[in-house]
Amino acid sequence: MFVPATKDGNLFDPKTCRRAHGYTIGKKGSEVKVEDYRSALDRLSKMPTPQWRRPNALGNWGIVSGVSWQRKTLAELGLATNDGGDA
């Protein structure tokens, strides 16, 4: 899978970026909540600049922008490979 990464190298991670309701993606003022990681990743891939909320070092949630895409395996992302979905 290709996953967006910020300039400091942090990824749109399925565990770190998830809140109780799912993932918050999009630019400020146009954010949407998406429950499923793969659906969120698909939406991010269609944005001119992928943007999502993640916690900072202090635990405060803020919007970050992806500047590159990195190839990761399902195992590297901590996702089950036997869920019937394609990577």
65 neighbors 54 (Cβ within 8 angstroms): no
Confidence class of residue 80 from pLDDT cuts 50, 70 and 90? Answer: confident
Number of domains the chain contains: 1
- Flag whether 77 is in a domain: no
23 neighbors 34 (Cβ within 8 angstroms): yes
- Flag whether 32 is in a domain: yes
Domain extent, residue 35, equals 2-65
User: Within 10 A of 3 (CB to CB), how many other CB atoms are there?
Assistant: 21
8: left (phi over 0), alpha (psi -120 to 50) or beta: alpha
Kindly report the pTM of this predicted structure. 0.86
Q: How far apart are CA 3 and CA 36, in angstroms?
A: 14
Kindly report, residue by residue over 28-77, the tens digit of the pLDDT.
999 999 999 999 999 999 999 999 999 999 999 999 999 999 999 999 99
- Flag whether 44 is in a domain: yes
Confidence class of residue 81 from pLDDT cuts 50, 70 and 90? Answer: low
